[in-house]
Amino acid sequence: MSSRFPSTFRFSRLARAAATTLAVALLAACTPPEPVFRSTDITGAEYGKTLQLTDHHGQTRTLADFKGKVVTIFFGYTQCPDVCPTALAGMSEVMRQLGPDGDKVQVIFITVDPERDTPALLAEYVPVFDKRFLGMYGTPDKIAEVAKDFRVFYRKSGDLAGHYTIDHSAGTYVFDPQGRLRLYVKHAEDPAVIAADIKALLAGK
């Protein structure tokens, strides 16, 4: 057969060689691009869907209230000696780096110490880092429910007549302006990294 169709045979070999060259070129073009986010992309996560708490002004809040803004959520407590102040100071630096874009970001601090963190205490503590930040509280049951939904762990340690600390998860969750949970930021992340990721979300990434 092939001897009767030598030109076709030659053509098909040429075509195959061309196809191979094309495939190699396409492979080169398909080298994974730089990831858009430096934080952990958790888009599509099946948790962190519900939040109904009271902010430090006494207003009931849900995630839907912040549509159109990037929302960051951190769980902690005002008497925390190090982790929480570090996280909040980091977020205030993020806001400084964002400049005017900071107005499109809502930083939320949810107390895991509802027995000691009164609304008044949260109202005093949280805005120190940035007056736009919101502290949130609820009953111990409500906080436990929200923390569970966000897969956040917390536990009292050294419970002596109120003199206790609380071990707690220290990552930050980030929602995009459409209210979808998108990123998990590890504790003590570089504020420049967080600011860049927030900018990407604000740009519709």
Which residues of the shown chain bind Cu ion in the complex (CB under 5 A)? Answer: 76, 80, 83-84
With respect to Cu ion, which residue has the nearer C-beta, 79 or 118?
79
Q: Which two tokens stand for residue 148?
A: 């569970």
With respect to Cu ion, which residue has the nearer C-beta, 84 or 152?
84
Length of the chain: 205
- For residue 53, the cross-strand partners are 61
At closest approach, how far in Å is the CB of 130 from Cu ion? 17
With respect to Cu ion, which residue has the nearer C-beta, 63 or 83?
83
At closest approach, how far in Å is the CB of 160 from Cu ion? 19
With respect to Cu ion, which residue has the nearer C-beta, 81 or 100?
81
- Return the CA Rg of the chain: 25
Per-residue 3-state assignment (H helix, E strand, C coil) for 124-182: HHHHHHCCCCEEEECCHHHHHHHHHHCCCCEEEECCCCCCCEEEECCCEEEECCCCCEE
75 φ, ψ (degrees, to nearest 5): -105, 130
At closest approach, how far in Å is the CB of 83 from Cu ion? 4
Angle ∠(127,167,164) on CA atoms, nearest 5: 85
* C-alpha span between 151 and 188 (Å, rounded): 19
At closest approach, how far in Å is the CB of 82 from Cu ion? 7
With respect to Cu ion, which residue has the nearer C-beta, 76 or 114?
76
At closest approach, how far in Å is the CB of 27 from Cu ion? 47
- For residue 106, the cross-strand partners are 71
Chain residue at closest Cβ approach to Cu ion: 80
